Structure 1
Amino acid sequence: MTTFDTNAVHGGYDRAANANAASVPIYATAAFDMESAVRGDRLAAGEEFGFSYSRVTNPTVDALERRLATLEGGEAAVATASGMAAVSFALLAAAEGGGRIIAPIDVYGATVDALATFFPQFGVHADFVDDINDLDEVEAAIRPETKVIFAESVANPSTRVTDLRPLADLAHRHGLPLIIDNTVPTPYLLRPIEFGADVVVHSTTKGICGHGNALGGMVIDAGRFDWSAGRHPQFTMIEQVISDERRGVPQSFASLFGNLAFIRRVRTKYVRTFGAVLSPFNAYQQLVGLETLPVRMEHEVASALKIARWLEGNPHVAEVRYSGLPGSPCHALAERYCPKGVGTILSFRLDGTEEHLRRLLDSTTVFTYLPNIGDARSLIVDPGRITHREVPGEFRRRAGITDQDVRLSIGLEDPDDLIADLGRAFAAAYGD
């Protein structure tokens, strides 16, 4: 069986079908010759896989989709132009038509904003729970119109770990799919499909790409959930785009694609219609990033743990939040689901005032102050004011995010240089 490291370099790509190019070529074309009227009809109906228009699929993007599906243990994947496009399309595809989404209060700030204020404009509503690992709380939120349970495998910035297996079992007992955002750990550290997740989403901008130079997102389908069982009528309704009315052949996504109805609907009704398409160039950059994912993650996770331990001993730090630390609230779950490490981000709460926080942020020279994670460069940010700014204060309070929190994303620099940089910043902030 081919290993993860080998698949990260070779998975999903057929050299012989691409002029034996060693690297995946960038197919910079808007459309493709469909060869014949009969084949064009089959491509348009979804009866044959192939390339006709890059808003639907493109060979460079297809290689990335296949590689990530392989790495996550999924059956098929669809790329999007950003991580939020992946999250939005996956959740709306599952809940469209007036459904409800159960989600924890501590998901990423833009996701909270979408669920709480934007999706309701389309008739899709959210029921937030304080603790996604409290199965009684989650089950109490399930209603007849609930369509999906959503969570992050490792939360940002708290690194709270989701107990995936019992949550998936609960969802399936109620005929619900479990959708997991796996951006923080990446499939190198955690593969949620192995623990019962039905769909996995990523911001490939982050650790997948690994260099902070290309936006992207991915939706990956395990291919196991029965979307025709009754809670999701959008998959059994007749769809013109995949039917052949001339021959009197009506089709639904469930009847034509079976358990892959979800991912085909995401591609056909969301990416194709809304147009949040990943460019071939960005797909190429992320394919290159994937080739080094295992070695990057090993180094960055080891550095993150070393820095978290150093922060524990700092007198100006009130709390360190990193589930990789022994004694942290989710350490047992981290060991169960992420034995190679919980990820490259951590956060800490600063003692003192707002002025201390600003001095600290402005005094780092190796860390860069910007709102990304998963970069080869180490990053620092204050989530309460930046990445979670759009989250209402009550939501931030329930999620445990304060204005004195600092989030770090650990890159490839020497960890001792990073610790020295933080030490100088603390000294500048507090006059030590």
Structure 2
Amino acid sequence: MDEHPYTFKCNTVAQHGGQELDPLTNARAVPIYQTASYGFKSTDHAASLFQMQEEGYIYSRNVNPTNRVLEKRLAELEGGIDAFAVSSGQSAVTIALLTLAKVGDEIVATNALYGGTYNLFAETFKRFGVTVRFVDGGNFSELEDAINEKTKAIFTETIGNPGLQIADIKMISKVARHHGLPLVVDSTFTTPFLQKPIEFGADIVVHSTTKFIGGHGTAIGGIMVDAGKFNWANGNFPEFTEPKKSLNNQSYINLSNASAFIAKARFELGHDLGTALSPFHGWLFIQGLESLSLRMKQHVINTQKIAEYLAEHSQVAWVNYPTLKNNTQYELAKTYLPKGAGAIFTFGIKGGYESAKTFINSVKLLSHVANVGDSKTLVIHPASTTHSRLSPEEQLATGVTKDQIRLSIGLEDVEDIKADIDQALQKSVEASLVE
């Protein structure tokens, strides 16, 4: 989109950000550039592109015009300067952090994490020679103590999955700044509609675009957004400042300046590991962004009503949703989530694991799937699925208990959602009486 002397608001950016009319056809909608490669004007042009002397397209593993609109649009929505879209949210987390850390380096992460991310950090990163130290995200002295001369980044989630711990990004970023480290924040649960982590001090924001950004459970993807504010030349990141033979003896700072992180992520790990996002999936995510604010508003309305309903239900032991007035994070939610705490929450069912199984096996409208952020309401038992690879101690550290059920509330009529939950809860009561 052409630059204007004023800044567009969120809904306008979601419709127009990052896009110019197609130069050949003036197509209003973003075209799908379903191509692997692009022609060069000359050998000099090809060499210039490969050496990053000018912008352009070489191969869709690195950059694709459809995906480029998604990248620019989401960067603008988040208040960043650039973004890199990849094949999944897990890829986005992996590439973001391994762009910063190499063999022998360390990362400090809050422990309230999605199970796949926890396992990635606890097990897979070890094979890359990178150690991740887990800390209580609300204990800032513990966070300070975990940082040493090998630390290259701090990682957290805006809202922990599934424990729903709200990250105090202002405080965590203060610690990160003190040590000259970037703060990487997974904002999948919140999206730029509910929270913009960069405004609170985040340096890099990652998303699983599979979730709310896509919004309909139709495509897998991820993205990382760079705030463009971190000083990569502070002495802690020589790989950003040292000349590279592959870049004609220039550094990423020389070539890309404020965009050095995205350039390095895209043309090193993105290129070498081949985590390319399908342009068709990129196009689907662009469609999702165009309705994001409308969907998120209704997600929040529905979720608040269901959470309040369950909080009063006789078969429910507890409900964890930050905007319930008796929730321990209610005040923190006012600061970080003034538009609402999103569509995901957990509750404990009386009767424990067996009752949880009965409940999930009894739902009819709700979908039992390993996903969140869909337009349809989803349900799962984290302890036996998404976090099953963690030890009992690790499960508790991430906020997972045996009686816990996770709901991702969709866009159906809220009374229909409520009726299905009620009949499934009744079935769990009947099953416990039989036993």
TM-score scaled by length of structure 2:
0.96
Shift in Å at residue 170 of structure 1? Answer: 1.3
In the alignment, residue 378 of structure 1 is paired with which amino acid?
T
Between the aligned partners of 1:167 and 1:193, the Cα distance in structure 2 is 12
Say whether residues 1:100 and 2:106 are aligned partners: yes
The 3-state SS of whatever aligns with 1:119 is: helix
Between the aligned partners of 1:331 and 1:301, the Cα distance in structure 2 is 15
Say whether residues 1:33 and 2:39 are aligned partners: yes
Shift in Å at residue 319 of structure 1? Answer: 1.4
Partner of 1:6: 12
Partner of 1:170: 175
Between the aligned partners of 2:164 and 2:397, the Cα distance in structure 1 is 15
Between the aligned partners of 2:143 and 2:88, the Cα distance in structure 1 is 29
Partner of 1:195: 200
In the alignment, residue 120 of structure 1 is paired with which amino acid?
K
The 3-state SS of whatever aligns with 2:289 is: helix
Correspondent of 2:245 among 240, 243, 248: 240
> Can you give the 5+ residue segments of structure 2 that lack an aligned partner in the other structure?
1-6
Shift in Å at residue 133 of structure 1? Answer: 2.4
Partner of 1:247: none
Partner of 1:427: 426
Q: Deviations over 1:275-326 (max 9, x none)?
A: 0100000001111111110000000111101100011011221111111211
Is the CA contact 1:168–1:197 (under 8 Å) kept in the aligned structure 2?
A: yes
Partner of 2:129: 123
Between the aligned partners of 1:391 and 1:343, the Cα distance in structure 2 is 26
Partner of 1:311: 310
The 3-state SS of whatever aligns with 1:77 is: strand
The sequence identity of aligned pairs, in percent, is 40
Partner of 1:55: 61
Partner of 1:90: 96
Shift in Å at residue 238 of structure 1? Answer: 2.7
Say whether residues 1:179 and 2:184 are aligned partners: yes
Between the aligned partners of 1:11 and 1:99, the Cα distance in structure 2 is 37
In the alignment, residue 191 of structure 2 is paired with which amino acid?
T
In the alignment, residue 220 of structure 2 is paired with which amino acid?
L
Between the aligned partners of 1:378 and 1:120, the Cα distance in structure 2 is 36
Shift in Å at residue 333 of structure 1? Answer: 1.4
Q: Deviations over 1:146-165 (max 9, x none)?
A: 11000001111122111111
Between the aligned partners of 1:220 and 1:305, the Cα distance in structure 2 is 29
Say whether residues 1:295 and 2:294 are aligned partners: yes
Aligned residues: 425
Partner of 1:68: 74
Between the aligned partners of 2:263 and 2:306, the Cα distance in structure 1 is 43
Partner of 1:109: 115
Shift in Å at residue 134 of structure 1? Answer: 1.9
Q: How does 1:198-213 map to 2 (within 5 A)?
A: 198-213=203-218
Partner of 2:4: none
Correspondent of 1:161 among 166, 170, 181: 166
Shift in Å at residue 18 of structure 1? Answer: 5.5
Between the aligned partners of 1:353 and 1:142, the Cα distance in structure 2 is 38
The 3-state SS of whatever aligns with 1:17 is: coil
Shift in Å at residue 216 of structure 1? Answer: 0.3
Between the aligned partners of 2:9 and 2:167, the Cα distance in structure 1 is 25
In the alignment, residue 97 of structure 2 is paired with which amino acid?
L
Between the aligned partners of 2:314 and 2:245, the Cα distance in structure 1 is 64
In the alignment, residue 217 of structure 2 is paired with which amino acid?
G
Between the aligned partners of 2:342 and 2:193, the Cα distance in structure 1 is 10
Between the aligned partners of 2:244 and 2:236, the Cα distance in structure 1 is 18
The 3-state SS of whatever aligns with 2:133 is: strand
Between the aligned partners of 1:329 and 1:200, the Cα distance in structure 2 is 26
In the alignment, residue 243 of structure 2 is paired with which amino acid?
I
Correspondent of 1:149 among 148, 154, 158: 154
Q: How does 1:281-430 map to 2 (within 5 A)?
A: 281-430=280-429
Shift in Å at residue 71 of structure 1? Answer: 0.5
The 3-state SS of whatever aligns with 1:95 is: coil
Q: Does the C-alpha gap of structure 1 residues 18 and 80 become closer, same or farther in structure 2, counting only changes over 3 Å? A: farther
Q: Deviations over 1:169-213 (max 9, x none)?
A: 110111010000000010000000011100000000000000000
Q: List structure 1 segments (4+ residues) > 3 angstroms apart after TM superposition.
A: none
In the alignment, residue 217 of structure 1 is paired with which amino acid?
G
Between the aligned partners of 2:229 and 2:192, the Cα distance in structure 1 is 19
Between the aligned partners of 1:289 and 1:377, the Cα distance in structure 2 is 14
Between the aligned partners of 1:25 and 1:349, the Cα distance in structure 2 is 46
Q: Does the C-alpha gap of structure 1 residues 18 and 190 become closer, same or farther in structure 2, counting only changes over 3 Å? A: farther
Shift in Å at residue 354 of structure 1? Answer: 2.7
